Amino acid sequence: MKIDIEKHYRLVFGGVYPHYVTKVEKKGRTKEELNEVISWLTGYDEKTIQHRIDNRTTFLEFFQEAPAIHPNASKITGVICGIRVEEIEDDIVQLIRYLDKLVDELAKGKAMEKILRK
């Protein structure tokens, strides 16, 4: 399956974020837990996440400017949209899919310590 890299780059983080919130809240998780997962992956704090949402930051900018991608991010494995995240060659698209995978794990009720690869 071919990945449209440019399409992923242009996606606005703040446009997708409310869908993440809805997904996790439907399953009994919280926005705070979602932000914790995003913070773990990117190094952004809650205030900066909100700033990125408000300023319509693209996913490309969101991940290029992330303070610190977690060293254990490479431990995120599995399939998103029929593609194994660990096999995605483009670094930014891989980070986007890592985030999708973490949101899925949160929504599925996985324990935070497992989601955060502790």
Q: What is the pLDDT of residue 75?
A: 95
Diameter over CA atoms, the chain = 36
pLDDT by residue (tens digit) across 29-77? 999 999 999 999 999 999 999 999 999 999 999 999 999 999 999 999 9
- Tell me: pLDDT of 110 over 90: yes
Decide: helix, strand or coil at residue 81: coil
Contacts of residue 99, defined as CB under 8 A and 6 or more positions apart, other chains included, come to 37, 38, 41
Sign of CA dihedral 56, 73, 104, 89: positive
Helix, strand counts (H, E) of the chain: 7, 2
- In this predicted structure, which of 4-8, 15-19, 84-88, 92-96 has the lowest mean pLDDT? 4-8
The correct answer on CATH 1.10.8.290 for the domain covering 5-110 is: yes
Q: What does pLDDT average to over the chain?
A: 95
pTM of the prediction?
0.93
